[in-house]
Amino acid sequence: MVARRAGSTIATMAWATVGTACEPGLWAAFALVLLVGPLSASARAQVGFDRPGADYASAAVRTGDPTLCAARCERDPRCRAWSFSYPETLAPTAVCQLKGAVTRSVPAACCVAGVRGASVVLPQVSGMEFAIERPGGDYRSLDPAPSPGACAASCQADAHCRAWTYLRAGYRGAQARCFLKNHVTRPRVEACCVSGVVR
């Protein structure tokens, strides 16, 4: 796993399936994919959760990267917690909300929520590469794509498919897309995507 503290250099992306379609089996793996840094061992940040209330600042996150929201909270002495919403969920763009108090977390597929001191850790799900795009090699696309799991299943069912990339809604268009690939291409860290290699 690759993780960097939110207060220093944050380059790691943490992403869960967003939107209305997500396989229940994946949510179990995403329940806690953000771990807290050493200064705050009892608290946790969560993908698939929101922390409503206590907002004092809100800003668009053009890159769609929740780690930037965590970093913004670290830099602001008033911030006690934060919520990040993915593009095309609560607003057309990704949004970071800083909070003056730690409010109760509630399940919400739209969001990633954390407390001050949290660092982002990628989920570990067999066959899926989170925050990874595999550009090139596309021979077919599925539009719209319901979820990374559905994209992976489409690739596994097609004998010509060697790898796949799921592009989340709001990053390069309003709808999520699935790209099936006829050869395995080099992985690239990108907040937009989930990828996998099947054969």
DSSP string, the chain: --EE-TTS----------SS---HHHHHHHTT-EEE-TT-TT--BEEEEE--S-EEEEEEETT--HHHHHHHHHH-TT-SEEEEE-TTTSSSSEEEEEESS-PPPEEEEEEEEEETTEEEE----TT-EEEEE--S-EEEEESS---HHHHHHHHHH-TT--EEEEEPTTTSSSS-EEEEESSPPPPEEEEEEEEEE--
Q: Judge whether 3-121 and 129-197 match in fold.
A: yes
Residue 54 has pLDDT above 60, yes or no: yes
pLDDT higher than threshold 50 for residue 25: no
Name the band, by pLDDT with cuts 50, 70 and 90, for residue 120. low
Q: Which CATH number fits domain 129-197: 3.90.180.10, 3.40.640.10, 3.40.1360.10, 3.50.4.10?
A: 3.50.4.10
Q: Where are the domains of the chain?
A: 3-121, 129-197
**Which CATH code fits 3-121?**
3.50.4.10
pLDDT at 79 over 60: yes
Residue 117 pLDDT greater than 90, yes or no: no
What is the structure's pLDDT at 131? 86
Average pLDDT over residues 29-35: 36
Return phi, psi of residue 148, to 5°.
-60, -35
96 against 122, higher pLDDT: 96
pLDDT-derived band at 130 (thresholds 50, 70, 90) equals confident
Residue 110 above 80 pLDDT?
Answer: yes
CB of 120 closer than 8 Å to CB of 34? yes
pLDDT attached to residue 156: 97
**Region 74-80 average pLDDT:** 95
Q: How high is the pLDDT of residue 29?
A: 36
First CA to last CA distance, the chain:
23
Average pLDDT on 55-78 reads: 93
Structure-model confidence comparison of residues 12 and 114, the more confident one: 114
Q: Which amino acid is at 8?
A: S
